[in-house]
Amino acid sequence: MEYTITSIAPIFLFPFTAFVLNAFFGRKLPREGDWLSVGAIFMSFVWACRIFSDFIFGKFSTDYYVHKVFNWIDLSFGEQIFKIDLGIYIDNMTAIMLLMVTGAATLIHLFSTWYMKGDEGGYGRFFIYLSLFTSAMLGLVLADNLLLLFIFWEIMGFCSYSLIGYYNKKERAGYASIKAFMTTRVGDVFLLLGILAIWSVVGNVNYVDIYSAISQGLFEGKVVLGISLATFAAFCVFMGTIGKSAQFPLQVWLPDAMMGPTPCSALIHAATMVAAGVYLSLRMYPLMQLGDITHFIAYIGAITAFGAATIALVQTDLKAVLAFSTISQLGYMVIGIGVGSYNAAFMHLITHAVFKACLFLSAGSVIHAVHTQEMPQMGGLRKKLPITFMCMMLCTLAIAGIPFFSGFVSKDRILGDALYWGLFSGQSKVHFLVPFLGFAGAFLTAFYMFRMMFLTFFGTPRDQHVYDHCHKETFSFNRNLPLIILATFTLGIFFSGSLTGQGIAKVFPKGGQEWFKILVEAPQVKKFESYTKEGFGFSDTRAEKSWEKAHYHHQSGYAGINPENEEGIHHAHVEGAIASIIIAFSGVFLAFLLYIRRTISPDKFVNPLRCWYEALRRKYYFDELYIDIFIKKVLLKFNEFLAFVDMGIYDRFAIDGWEKVNRVLFKASKWFDDVVVDSIAVDGTGTSINIFNLILRIVQSGKIQLYFFILLFVLAGYVWTLDIA
Amino acid sequence: MSGLLNWILWLPVIGMIAILFVPKDKKDLIRTFGVVTTSITFLLTLVLYAKFNTSIGGMQPEFLIKVPWIEQFNIFYSLGVDGISLPMVVLTGLLFLICTVSSWSVDKQVKSYYVLLLMLQSSVFGVFFALDFFLFYVYWEVMLLPMFFLIGIWGGENREYAAIKFFLYTFFGSIIMLVGIIALYYATGKGVDSFNILALQGGHFTKEVVTLFGTEFSFEKLFFWAMFLGFAIKVPVFPFHTWLPHAHVQAPTAVSVILAGVLLKMGTYGFLRIAFPIFPMASVEYSTVIAVLGCISVLYGAFCAMAQSDVKKLVAYSSVSHMGFVMMGMAAMTVQGMNGAVLQMFNHGTSTAMMFLMIGVIYERSHHRWIVKPDGSKGYGGLYSHMPKYSIIFIIGMFASLGLPGLSGFISEALIFLGIFNRFTTITVFAVLGLLLGAAYLLWMFKRMFFGEASAEVKSYPDMSIREVGYMIPLCVAVIVFGIYPSPILNVMKASVAQLLDLLGKFS
C-alpha cells in the first residue's frame, strides 16, 4: 500500500466520521447508530492490519519508517517566519500500537452493544463518545509530533471526562469525572511546558527533528530556570506520563474513573488512554536519557507498581481491584523505561492492554449478571458464568506472571532488566530497591488477582439472593466473543516464541521467534544525525527513509551504563525469571490458602496491622491530602480570601473610596464657599460665587458627564501649558 | 468598493433611525428591524472579509476613506481596515446579529433598547475603523453612552451602581488617553497629520522630552503610560478590573455578550493600533510590565472566578483571566505571540459570548444565577439529564473557553505560549497554571449545575427553543471550525501583524 497522508488518514477518519454522523443523526438511526461506530472501528482495524502486515511481515526493513507532513498553520510573512506542520509517523512501534488499539477497540465496541443495551437515553451518547475517543487515540498513535499528540491527548481526556460522568444523575460521577480531568490536566500542563521547551530549541516538535537535534547536541548548554533545558523538558514530558498513566503522585484519579460504564473502563482506563502516557515516554526516550532522569523514572515506576499493588490487596470492589492493578502494571512499564528496558516496557504495554481489557470486560460481564460490584456479595459464580470465568482465569494467569502467558513474558523481561540495572550494572547497589519493589509487587499481584478470582468465582455463594438472580451464561455473540478472542491473545506464544520452540518463528520471517524484541528498539538518535531539515510541502520530501538494519544487539538502552555486558544481562535475566516464577506461584498459593482452603484467616493479617489496613483501605490518604487539605483548606480558602479582597477591600475602598474623597473635598469647598467666601467677601463677588455654587450643585447632584467635561477642560488646559520641547 | 466601510459603519444608524419611526407598541416590527439591520451589516462584514487582500500588510488601500471633518484642527473623517481590525469587525457583525436575535425576549422598552443597541454597534465599528485619532476618541466615548443606558435601564437589581461605575471607570481611562492625544497634537506641531494615526506610527517621538513639575520626562514613555492606562482599563488588566464583574452581573444578556465579546477587545486593539506603533520604543521597553500584568490577570482572574457562586460573575472573572493571555501574547512581540493574541481576541469573543448567552438562556427560566444560593442550597443541579440540548451546547462553549484542543481557545493559547516561552520563561511557567485553574473553575461550576438529580424546579424548565438553538449554532460552528482550522483568520491578520512586528523589531 502506498503510504501517503490520504491513504493513512482513513484509519483515523472512520471512527471520527462515525462520531460526527452519530452526533448529528444518531437518534434517528436504527439502534441509535451503534452499528456505525462498530463498523467504523472495524474498518480501522482492517486498515491497521494492512499496515501491520506491511511493517511486520512485509517488504520493509525493520527500521523503516514513514513520515509525512502537511502544513497546518503558516504565519510567515516577509521576514517573520513561523510554521506549524502536522503529520504522521509510522514505524514498527506505530504499526503494533495501531493493531492493538483498533483490535481492542473493535472488541470493546462489540461488547458494549451487549453491555450498554437498554440503557435509557444514553446508549447513543455512549457510542458517540466512544467513537470520538477511538479516533483521538488513533490520531495520537499516528501523530508525528508532540503538539498533535498533545491535541489528541487532551481530546481523549475530554472523552474520558465525559464517559466517567456518563451516569450524570449520580453526584459521585460528577466528582469522579472532574477529578480525573483535573488530575490528568496537572500532567498535561507540564507536558505543554515540555513541548514549549523543546520547541524553543528545535523550532519544531516532531519526533524526527527532536531525535536529530539530540544527536546534533542542540540541547547542550541550554539552561532554563537555572536547570538544564534537557532535564527540564524531559521532566515536564514525563510529568505528562505521570498524569495520564496514573503514576505516583497523580494516581488518585484512576480508581474514581471506575464510575464510568465498564466497557469504557476497559478501553480508556486500561487498554489505551492510560497506556498513551507510557507511549509518550517511549517516544521521548532519547530525551529522557539526555535529561538524565531515568533514575527518577525508575523510582516513580517502582513506587507506583508496589504501592498500588498493596492497595489492591484490601479492595472489595471488583473494578477497584482492577483499577489498582492497572496502576501497578503501568508502574512496571515505567520501571521498564527507567531501567532502559525499552522493548520490554512496550511489550508489556501491549500484553497488558490485551489481558486488562479482557479482565475489565469479564468484570463487566459479571457485574451485569449480578448487579453488584462488591466481591463479598459474590462467590461461586464459576458455575453460573463458565465462559466469563474461563476467560478471566486466563487473563489472571497472565497478569500474575505464570509462565507461558503473555504477562510473564513481558513482566519478567522488565524485572530481569531491572535486576541487572539495580545489581550488576556497576552503579550503587542502593538501586536494588527498584527491582526489589518490582518483585515484591509481582508477588502481591499474583496474590490479589487470585484473591479476586477466588472471592468471585470460587467457594460458596455469600449472598444467595444475588447468586439466585444471576442468569446462567449462555454463549452470546457480542458478550462472549470479545472475551474469548482477547483471552486467546494472553498466551505467551504470540509475543515470544522462546518458550515454545520454533513453531511460531516461521510466521515471522524477520526476527523469528523473538520477533517483538527485534522489531521494536529504542530510537537510535545517531541514525537521525545526518538528517537535515528540508522544505515542507503538502507532500513531504523526506517521506520514506530506511537504513540498513543495525546489527541486532541486546537492547542497549541502559542510561550511562555499559551495554556490552551481555553475559551480565543474561545472568540477571535467568535469575530474574526463576525469581519471578517462584514469586508468582507463592502468591497464588498464599491466596489459595487464605481464600480456598481457609487454613489461615485473612483477619490474622489484618488485626495486628489495623492501622496499615486502614491506610490501605483509604489509599494511603492521598484523597484526604489532596482534596480535604490542599483543595478545600488551602486552595478554596485562598480563592475566597482573594475574592473577598478583590470586591470587599480593593474595590470597596481603593476604587469606590474615591467617591468618599470627592465628597469630602466638595464639602470642604462648599464650607469654604459658604463660610469663608460668603462671610468675608460678602457681596463683592456675588455673581461669580453663584456660578461656582451652580457648578458644585450640578456635580453633587450626580451628573457625572458634566463633571467629566469640567475635568476634561482642566486637563486640556493643563496639557496646553505643558512645555513640549 | 471604497464605500463599504461607510456602509458598515452607518447602516446600524440607518436602522436605528428607521426604528425611531416605528410606533413603540409594535414590538415585533421593531425587533425585526433590528435583526434585519444587523443581518445586512453582518453580510457586509463578510463581503469585506471576502474582498480583503491578504497579501498586503497594513491598511487596505482599496477601502481607505479620508474626508476633512474639522479642518481648523486638521481632523479628518478617516476610515480604514487592516488584518488586525478585520477579525474584530467580523466578530462585531456576528455578535450583534446574535444579540438582536437573542434579545427577542426583552420586553421592556423594546424600542429604546434596539435603538441603543444599534447605536452601540455603529460606535464599535467606528472604533475599529477610525484612522483619525480624534475620530477614534469620539467613537470610543460615544460607545459609553448606549452602554450606560443599556446597563442602567435593562440591568439587574443593582444596575445603577454598575452603570455609573462602568462609566466613571472607563471615562477616567479615556480622559488620560485624551491627554495623550492632545499632547501628540502639540508634539506634531498641530500639522495636517497631527491626528492621523497612521502618520503618527513609526516611533517619531523617541527623542522628544517633556517637562512636568520641573522634571524632564521622555515624551514617549510618559504618554505610553497615558495610553496604557486608557486601554488597560478597557481590557481590563489587573488592577483595573473591578468594574467588569459589576457591569457583567448587572448587564442584560446581550449587553454582557457585547461587553465581553467586543468591547474588551477594544482595549487590546488600542494597544495594537495605537500604543505599540506610536510608541514602539516604550512598548518594547515596558513589554515585561505588560507580560507580568497579563500573567497576574490570568491567575488572579482564575482564582477569583473559583470563589464565585454567581455563575455570571464567574464568567466575568474568567474574561479577566483570558484577556490576560492576550496581553501576554502582545507583550511577547514575536510572530506566534502576536498572532496568537489577535486570534485569542477573536476566539475569546466567540467562546465567552457562548457562555454569556447560555447563562442568559438559563436565567430566563430560573430568574437567578446562583450556582450555590446564599442560603447554601443548590441553585441548579441535574440540568444534564433534564436539558440535553442545553447541556451539549454548554459543554462546547465551556470546553472552548477552557482551551480544549480541537476547539478554538486552544490554538490561540498555544500560539501565545509558543511566543512567550523564549522571552519570558518564568512568566510562562506561572501562566500555564492559568490553564489548570481555568479548567478547575469551569468544570467545578459545571459539576454543581449539571450533575445530580433534577429538582422539581429544574424539571419545570423547558429545554432550549429553536430560536435559542438557532442563534447558538453560528457560535458553535465558529468555535469548532476555527479550533480545527484557524487559518481563515490567521491568514488575514498575519501580514498586518508582521508589519507591526517589523516596526517593533527596530526598537528591541
Distance from CA of B380 to the nearest CA of A (A): 13
In the predicted structure, residue A443 carries a pLDDT above the cut 80: yes
Which of A71, A73, A655 is most worth mutating to test chain B (most B CB atoms within 10 A of its CB)?
Answer: A73
pLDDT at position A554 is 35
In the predicted structure, residue A477 carries a pLDDT above the cut 90: no
Domain boundary among B249, B277, B305: B277
Cα A538 to Cα A86: distance, rounded to the nearest angstrom: 10
Q: Which bin fits B234, alpha (ψ -120 to 50), beta or left (φ > 0)?
A: alpha
- Residue A530: which of A515, A542, A513, A540 has the closest Cα? A542
B3 lies in the same domain as B135? yes
- Name the closest residue on chain A to residue B444, using Cα atoms: A178
Domain assignment present for A550: no
Angle at A543 between CA A538 and CA A548, to 5 degrees: 175
Cα A196 to Cα B328: distance, rounded to the nearest angstrom: 15
> Average pLDDT of A276-300?
93
Please write the tens of the pLDDT for every residue from A207-256: 988 988 888 888 888 888 889 999 999 999 999 999 999 998 999 999 99
Which of B73, B325, B494, B504 is most worth mutating to test chain A (most A CB atoms within 10 A of its CB)?
Answer: B494
- Name the closest residue on chain A to residue B492, using Cα atoms: A75
In the predicted structure, residue A618 carries a pLDDT above the cut 90: no
Domain boundary among B277, B298, B331: B277
Cα B272 to Cα B498: distance, rounded to the nearest angstrom: 12
A575 lies in the same domain as A718? no
A420 lies in the same domain as A332? yes
Cβ pair A152:B175 closer than 8 A: no
Cβ pair A181:B443 closer than 8 A: yes
pLDDT at position A562 is 46
In the predicted structure, residue A627 carries a pLDDT above the cut 90: no
Q: What is the largest CA-CA distance in chain A?
A: 122
A326 lies in the same domain as A468? yes
Select from B164, B307, B497 the Cβ nearest to the Cβ of A704. Answer: B164
CA B310 vs CA A174, A582, B239, B379, B493: distances in Å: 20, 61, 21, 9, 36
Number of H helices and number of E strands within chain A?
A: 31, 6
Cα A529 to Cα A72: distance, rounded to the nearest angstrom: 26
Cβ pair A76:B178 closer than 8 A: no
A570 lies in the same domain as A711? no
Domain assignment present for A458: yes
A433 lies in the same domain as A336? yes
The cell 502486515 sits on which residue?
Answer: A53
A301 lies in the same domain as A395? yes
Distance from CA of A597 to the nearest CA of B (A): 45
Q: Sort out which chain B residues have CB atoms less than 8 A from A145's CB and list them.
A: none
- Phi and psi, residue A573, nearest 5°: -70, -40
pLDDT at position A460 is 85
pLDDT at position B121 is 94
DSSP conformation letters of B239-290: TS-THHHHHHHHS-HHHHHHIIIIIHHHHHHHIIIIIHHHSHHHHHHTHHHH
pLDDT at position B418 is 93
Distance from CA of A235 to the nearest CA of B (A): 14
Please write the tens of the pLDDT for every residue from A553-568: 333 343 334 455 667 7
A411 lies in the same domain as A343? yes
B226 lies in the same domain as B294? no
User: Angle formed by the axes of helices A171-202 and B425-450, to 10°?
Assistant: 160
A370-374 long-range CB contacts below 8 Å, 24 or more apart?
A370/A466, A370/A467, A370/A469, A370/A470, A371/A466, A371/A469, A372/A463, A372/A466, A373/A317, A373/A318, A373/A319, A373/A320, A374/A316, A374/A317, A374/A318
User: How many domains, chain A?
Assistant: 2
Q: Sort out which chain B residues have CB atoms less than 8 A from A174's CB and list them.
A: 447, 450-452
Q: Which bin fits B406, alpha (ψ -120 to 50), beta or left (φ > 0)?
A: left
Select from B186, B334, B418 the Cβ nearest to the Cβ of A196. Answer: B418
B261 lies in the same domain as B362? no
Of A268-282, A626-640, B301-315, B421-435, the one with minimum mean pLDDT is A626-640
B501 lies in the same domain as B414? yes
Cβ pair B168:A704 closer than 8 A: yes
pLDDT at position A220 is 87
pLDDT at position B122 is 94
Give the pLDDT means over successive 10-residue stretches in chain B (508 positions).
85 92 89 94 94 88 88 88 93 94 89 92 94 92 90 87 87 88 85 86 83 81 90 90 90 93 93 92 92 94 91 93 94 92 94 94 90 86 88 94 91 93 92 92 92 87 91 94 93 92 88
Element (DSSP H or E) covering residue A337: helix A318-338
pLDDT at position A438 is 93
Evaluate if pTM is beyond 0.80: yes
Complex confidence, ipTM: 0.94
B268 lies in the same domain as B296? no
Domain boundary among B242, B258, B277: B277
Band (A629; pLDDT cuts 50, 70, 90): confident
Domain assignment present for A10: no
In the predicted structure, residue A530 carries a pLDDT above the cut 80: no
Band (A531; pLDDT cuts 50, 70, 90): low
CB pairs under 8 A between A and B: 192
Element (DSSP H or E) covering residue A695: helix A686-700
A339 lies in the same domain as A458? yes
Please write the tens of the pLDDT for every residue from A356-403: 999 999 999 999 888 888 888 888 888 888 999 999 999 999 999 888
Which range of residues forms the domain containing residue A586? 296-495+565-617
Cβ pair B239:A165 closer than 8 A: no
Band (A683; pLDDT cuts 50, 70, 90): low
B228 lies in the same domain as B340? no
Across chain A, mean pLDDT equals: 83
B302 lies in the same domain as B346? yes
A303 lies in the same domain as A390? yes
B271 lies in the same domain as B294? no
In the predicted structure, residue A428 carries a pLDDT above the cut 50: yes
Percent of chain A with pLDDT over 70: 84
B270 lies in the same domain as B212? yes
β-strand partners of B65: B79
B470 lies in the same domain as B375? yes
The Cβ of residue A36 has, within 10 Å, a number of other Cβ atoms equal to 23
Q: Sort out which chain B residues have CB atoms less than 8 A from A643's CB and list them.
A: 303-304, 307-308
Select from B178, B186, B487 the Cβ nearest to the Cβ of A724. Answer: B186
B353 lies in the same domain as B473? yes
Select from B169, B303, B335 the Cβ nearest to the Cβ of A75. Answer: B335
pLDDT at position A600 is 80
pLDDT at position A564 is 56
- Name the closest residue on chain B to residue A193, using Cα atoms: B429
Which range of residues forms the domain containing residue B236? 1-277
Select from B182, B304, B450 the Cβ nearest to the Cβ of A639. Answer: B304
A410 lies in the same domain as A324? yes
Cα B69 to Cα B75: distance, rounded to the nearest angstrom: 6
pLDDT at position B413 is 93
Select from B303, B415, B444 the Cβ nearest to the Cβ of A642. Answer: B303
Domain assignment present for A482: yes
Cβ pair B304:A650 closer than 8 A: no
Domain assignment present for A195: no
Say if residues A627 and A657 touch (Cβ distance below 8 Å): no
Distance from CA of A556 to the nearest CA of B (A): 35
pLDDT at position A693 is 57
Cβ pair B435:A192 closer than 8 A: yes
Domain assignment present for A705: yes
pLDDT at position A725 is 38
pLDDT at position A497 is 59
Distance from CA of B165 to the nearest CA of A (A): 8
Cβ pair B502:A147 closer than 8 A: no
Domain assignment present for A316: yes
A309 lies in the same domain as A415? yes
Distance from CA of B192 to the nearest CA of A (A): 18
Which of B56, B137, B416, B421 is most worth mutating to test chain A (most A CB atoms within 10 A of its CB)?
Answer: B421
B431 lies in the same domain as B480? yes
Cα A317 to Cα A378: distance, rounded to the nearest angstrom: 11
> What would the grid cell of residue B342 be?
489577535
- Name the closest residue on chain B to residue A161, using Cα atoms: B443
Q: Sort out which chain B residues have CB atoms less than 8 A from A233's CB and list them.
A: none
User: How many domains, chain B?
Assistant: 2
Which of B451, B469, B477, B482 is most worth mutating to test chain A (most A CB atoms within 10 A of its CB)?
Answer: B451
pLDDT at position A689 is 52
A692 lies in the same domain as A595? no
pLDDT at position A685 is 52
pLDDT at position A423 is 82
Angle at B299 between CA B296 and CA B303, to 5 degrees: 130
